[in-house]
Each structure stands twice: as C-alpha cells, then as structure tokens.
Homo-oligomer: A and B are copies of this chain.
Amino acid sequence: MEFDNSKPIYLQIIHNIKKKLVRGELKPGEKIQSQREFAKEVNVNPNTVQRAYREMELLGLVHTLRGQGTFITEDSQMLQEIKSEMAVDLIKSFITEMQSLGFEDEQILIQVEKNMQIKE
C-alpha cells in the first residue's frame, strides 16, 4: 500500500499551466508571469518555480527570452498534442481505476453515460 500520493510541486505547476493552455486561458505567444511573481503568488520557493519553467522549456511548451520573460509557444500543433495527452492520461487512469473495481469496459461506458444524464 502506498501512502502520500502527492506529486512534486514542480510537476503540479506544469500540470496547471498545461490546463490553462488547453482551456484557452493562456494563448500562444502570450507572456506568462515571471518566475518571481509566480513564486510569490503561489507561495513556493523560487527554485521550484524555476525547475518547472526549465522543464516546460525542454518540453517546448514555452520559450524564454533573456531579460524579457517567458512566453507560451506559438506552435499550435503542440497545444493540440497537450490536450490529447492530458485527456488520454485522464482516461487511462480512469479506466484502470474502474476496472480495478470490477467493471467491464461496456459497463464503464454505460455508467459514464448514465452519470451525464443525471446531471442534465
């Protein structure tokens, strides 16, 4: 059994920014907060924020211009991929969890659909 399932903070930061991207709250080419601003806002050590920004740079998600700041990539295909990736991750772990409760694929679909109708 596993205790303490919290993800490292720098990964949580990346995840969050990806989400904002996918939802259009951040647009291609847009300048994002400076590392210092960000660190202060979420009350986290600046080194942690730096790691998150560096990692996103490596992923091609943002690019940094010295002395000017950090900007969202303009590569729209990349943005599409992020959306798919995040969705696939969610779906996979959802299916795995449901199967571990003993649900077959067909039942899973039925249950999901039923839950959507309930909400209407």
Write the residues of chain A forming the contact surface with B, with a CB cutoff of 8 angstroms.
1-7, 9, 12-13, 16, 19, 22-24, 42, 44, 58, 83, 86-88, 90-92, 94-95, 97-98, 100-103, 105, 108-109, 111-113, 115-116, 119
Contact = CB atoms under 8 A, between A and B. Distances in A.
Nearest to A41: B1
B90 A97 contact: yes
Contact of A86 (B22, B83, B101, B112): B101
Contacts of A6: 3-6
A101 B88 CA distance: 11
Nearest to A16: B1
A4 B9 CA distance: 7
A103 B115 CA distance: 15
Given A12-B3, A94-B94, A108 B102 contact: no
Nearest to A18: B101
A91 to B, nearest CB: 5
Given A94-B94, A102-B23, A111-B87, A42 B12 contact: no
B90 A98 contact: yes
B3 A9 contact: yes
Given A19-B100, A111-B87, A112-B95, A3 B105 contact: no
